[in-house]
């Protein structure tokens, strides 16, 4: 079964220099039909105004992944981490029993364009932790590069869940395929550009939810940057 989730149907929120589009219920946007897909809880597409600070807040029992498309995301947390997340970087924060952190767009001239992704861990608790890794474009060109996993395979960033996140850049005749094991869920999110996924034409912000499918096939990319999730069932 394949379900398309058009970008225009996502939730929308704008306040004090932060513009967000929500693929799943988040904050004031509550949609009982779109609350999660397996352990995938949040995909927020955020545009953060120049110099905008999001303020310190606490999270717990969530694997939080930041994927920057343009600009930079400044990060600091109670672990003493201070970092800048830039295009090609994948940042992972395991909130565990609770971790206070703050984010900001450090650039005073240009906005930041960021995907914030939350995945529920396989069990609650645990010590908070942080990691970040850069994946150059050449590793994602015409293929699906594993960037997040539960076991750290292929040098991916490790999370506390049996979930895998792949990133790909596709153009023209390039094609990428990902097999899905029996019982697994797939989720395709087009970060930018356009692509055909399993015969469905998708544009930036569109998503495809897959259940009882054997693979994800991407082709006919038009400056496409695509995230593909391989997830355990509901």
Condensed to tens digits (0 to 9), the pLDDT of residues 68-106 reads 999 999 877 777 777 788 999 999 988 888 778 778 788
Cβ–Cβ < 8 Å for 93, 64? yes
Residues with Cβ within 8 Å of 221's Cβ and at least 6 positions away in sequence, in order, are 169, 170, 171, 172, 174, 193, 194, 195, 196
Q: Which tens digit of pLDDT belongs to each residue from 217-234? A: 999 999 999 999 999 997
109 domain residue, yes or no = yes
User: Residue 160 burial (CB < 10 Å; 0-12/13-18/19+)?
Assistant: buried
Q: Is residue 88 part of a domain?
A: yes
- Looking at the fold, whether 104 and 151 belong to one and the same domain comes out as no
123 with 90, same domain? yes
Confidence of residue 16 (pLDDT cuts 50, 70, 90): confident
- Mean pLDDT for the stretch of residues 173-180: 96
Q: Which pTM value belongs to this model?
A: 0.94
The residue from 134, 157, 175 where one domain ends is 134
Are 150 and 118 spatial neighbours (Cβ–Cβ below 8 Å)?
A: no
C-alpha to C-alpha distance for 53 and 163, rounded to whole angstroms? 30
Clarify whether residues 206 and 111 are in a common domain: no
DSSP per-residue string spanning 83-132: EEE-TTEEEEEE-TT-EEEEEE---SSS-EEEEEEEE--SSS----EEEE
Q: Do 49 and 96 have their domain in common?
A: yes
User: Domain range spanning residue 66?
Assistant: 10-134
Structural tokens at position 202: 């998708």
């Amino acid at each position: 079964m394949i379900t398309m989730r058009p970008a225009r149907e996502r939730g929308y929120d704008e306040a004090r220099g932060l513009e967000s589009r929500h693929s799943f219920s988040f904050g004031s946007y509550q949609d009982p039909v779109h609350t999660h897909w397996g352990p995938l809880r949040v995909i927020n597409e955020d545009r953060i105004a120049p110099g905008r600070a999001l303020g310190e807040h606490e999270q717990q029992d969530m694997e939080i992944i930041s994927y920057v498309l343009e600009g930079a995301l400044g990060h600091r947390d109670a672990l003493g981490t201070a970092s800048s997340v830039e295009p090609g970087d994948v940042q992972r924060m395991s909130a565990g029993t609770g971790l206070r952190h703050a984010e900001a767009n450090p650039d005073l001239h240009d906005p930041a364009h960021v995907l914030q992704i939350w995945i529920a861990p396989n069990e609650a608790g645990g010590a908070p932790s942080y990691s970040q890794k850069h994946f150059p474009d050449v590793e994602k060109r015409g293929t699906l590069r594993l960037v997040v996993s539960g076991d750290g395979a292929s040098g991916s960033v490790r999370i506390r869940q049996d979930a895998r996140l792949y990133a790909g850049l596709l153009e023209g005749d390039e094609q990428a395929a990902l097999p899905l094991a029996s019982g697994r869920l797939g989720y395709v999110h087009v970060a930018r550009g356009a692509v055909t996924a399993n015969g469905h034409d998708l544009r930036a912000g569109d998503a495809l939810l897959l259940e009882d499918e054997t693979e994800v096939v991407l082709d006919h990319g038009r400056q496409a940057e695509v995230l593909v999730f391989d997830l355990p069932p509901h």
